[in-house]
Structure 1
Amino acid sequence: NRALAHLDVKPRRTFLDFVLEAVAAGAPLTDRDIRDEVEIFMFGGHVTTAAAASWFLYCMSCYPHHQDRVREELDEIFQNSDRHCTRDDAAKMRYLDHCIKESMRIYPPHPFIVRENREPIII
């Protein structure tokens, strides 16, 4: 955080930050509640990641001209090398990023979130 202090950038807060703040503020979260939420994020992520990847590949197969543009972008970044992808490389993958986000917009990996109210609600 000190490295970012001179910038007007706030560090990203994680899910765990929110849970710990809620507990510290006296929110009625039991150990079981916290464990259940953590399990959803840890294990649920595998299914949604697989779904997102599958739909992205489907979209690329349906639109070969976009697939070609992604490949051109990757070829330009890696220039026939077999090195691993770096953070700087990933930042340059703008068209790939747009394609992934568009496939997730059209085919969300998990289109809804199920929540249960603990108290009655009036709308």
Structure 2
Amino acid sequence: DFPHQWGGRIDLKHIDVHVPSQHKVEGKEFPAEYQLWHLHPGRKRAAVVSIMVDVHPQNRMNNHFQRVLAEWQKVWERTFNKCQRRRRTGEVSEEFQEEEGVAGMESNPFA
């Protein structure tokens, strides 16, 4: 929520995950970046918050993060496969593919 100076509350509407990070902090690129998209419906404004993800120096397993990544991968694969089926049948326009970020993707990056 951004309750002040935005004319009301705005909600988190979308999360992007970039591997590696899309941005740098003081010249350092990170292994991953979350982008949290908040949209204000009435005023057509947006706020994006980026969270950089770093690898633990001792390379210890983060079980909670691994569960999150595994669930995200399932959703991504399900969505990707659904889009692939529609692309093969011509049900999805090129504009939709661009908007959904699947244009030009021919394979699963998790494979």
Structure richer in helix, relative to its length: 1
Normalising by structure 2, report the TM-score.
0.29
Higher relative contact order (CA 8 A, sep 6+): 1
Larger radius of gyration: 1
Structure richer in strand, relative to its length: 2
Normalising by structure 1, report the TM-score.
0.27
